[in-house]
Amino acid sequence: MADPDRFSLAEVLESFKKCLSDEGEILQEHYLEGWKGLVKFMSSLGSAFSFISNDAVTKIQILEDYRSGVNGQKYLTIQSMVKYEVDNELVDLTKRGDHWDSGCRTLLRLHRALRWLQLFLEKLRVASDNSKTSVLCTEAYQDVLAKYHPWIIRKAATVAFYMLPSRANFFEVMNMGPTEKVVAILGEALPVVAKTYDITEDLYSQHGLLDLP
Ligand code: 1Q0
C-alpha cells in the first residue's frame, strides 16, 4: 500500500496534470495538492529547509481556507479567484493593507516558485549523474526567484541548497524507480508544469497583478 507520508514525484506531477482543465482553467484543488506533495518532499530534507516549507505551508493554508470558506465556490479555479477578488476590490494592488493575504498575492508567490521548480527539474532531467544538485538548484533560484527575495532570505536559501543530496540520491527519494524512468517522466510532465505556469502568468499579466506587494 502507498505510504501517505512518503514523497512521490509521480503523484506531484499527476496533481499538476490534473489541475489543468480542457478549457485551460487551473483547478486550485489539484494545484495545491501538487504543492503539498512538494512540501512533503522538503520535510524529508531536514531542518535547514524548514523555513522554506513553513512559508509554503502558510501560503497553501491561506488558499485552502478561502476554498473551504463561505465564498469557496469563487476559489475553484485560479481564473475564478482572480475575477472574484479583482471585481470586489479584495486585492492590495500597490501596498500592503487590509488585503495583505489576498488569494491573488498569496498564489503569486507560489506561482513564482513554480517557475523555479520548472527550471530546476529541467536542469535535473538533462544533467549528468555526477552533477551537483546544489549547483543546479542555486542556478535556477538565481535565475528566477532570488530577485523577489530580500538579502537575508537569499542568503539562507543559498546556505540550505548546499545541503541537497546528490542527483542519484535525489532520484531515489523521488520514489519512481531507475534514473531512466525518472528522466522519462520528467520529460513528459514538465510541459504540463510549463503550461500551468504560462496560463497563470498570462492571466496575472492581463490583470496587472504580477507585482502585487
Ligand atoms: C529542493 C530544495 C527546495 C528549494 C526551494 C526553492 C525555493 C526557495 C525559496 C526560498 C523561500 C524562503 C522562505 C520565505 C520566502 C518568502 O519571503 C517568499 C515571499 O513571500 P512573502 O509573503 O514574504 O511575500 N515566499 C516565497 O517565495 C514562496 C516560496 C515557496 C517555496 C516552495 C518551494 C517548494 C519546493 C519544494 C521542493 C521541490 C523539490 C523538487 C524536486 C523533487 C525531486 C525529488
Picking from 111, 93, 110, 91, the residue whose alpha carbon sits closest to that of residue 101 is: 91
Ligand 1 pocket residues where CB is under 6 Å: 9, 38, 41-42, 51-52, 55-56, 109, 113, 116-117, 137, 141, 145, 149, 153, 157, 164, 170, 173-174
Q: How far is the CA of 52 from the centre of ligand 1 (A)?
A: 5
pTM of the model: 0.95
- Ligand 1 center–CA 95 separation, angstroms: 23
Query: Please, are residues 200 and 111 in contact by the beta-carbon 8 Å criterion?
Result: yes
> Which three-class secondary structure string do you get for 17-38?
HHCECCCCCEEHHHHHHHHHHH
**Going residue by residue through the chain (213 aa), what tens digit of pLDDT does each one get?**
456 666 778 888 899 999 999 999 999 999 999 999 999 888 888 888 999 999 999 999 999 999 999 999 999 999 999 999 999 999 999 999 999 999 999 999 999 999 999 999 999 999 988 889 999 999 999 999 999 999 999 999 999 999 998 888 888 877 778 888 889 989 988 999 999 999 999 999 999 999 999
CA-nearest of 11, 205, 9 to 108 is 205
The residue to mutate among 55, 111, 134, 172, having the most atoms of ligand 1 within 8 angstroms of its beta carbon, is 55
The rounded Å distance from CA 192 to ligand 1 centre is 20
Cβ proximity of 10 and 185 under 8 Å: yes
Reading the block at residue 137, the C-alpha cell is 538548484
- ipTM exceeding cut-off 0.90 for this assembly: yes
Q: Report which DSSP code applies to 146.
A: G
What b/e sequence results for 91-121 when a residue is b if at least 16 CB atoms lie within 10 Å of its CB, and e otherwise?
A: bbbeeeeebeebbbbbbbbbbbbbbbbbbbb
What pLDDT does 112 receive? 98
pLDDT at residue 197, rounded to an integer: 97
For residues 66 and 95, give the distance between their C-alpha atoms in angstroms, rounded to a whole number. 21
Q: What is the CATH architecture assignment of 9-206?
A: Orthogonal Bundle (1.10)
Task: Using the mean position of ligand 1's atoms as its centre, give its distance from the Cα of residue 210 in Å.
Answer: 18
201: CB partners within 8 A, 6+ apart = 111, 210
pLDDT value of residue 1: 46
Nearest CA to ligand 1 atom 3: 42
Which grid coordinates are listed for 37? Answer: 506533495
Q: What is the pLDDT of residue 2?
A: 54
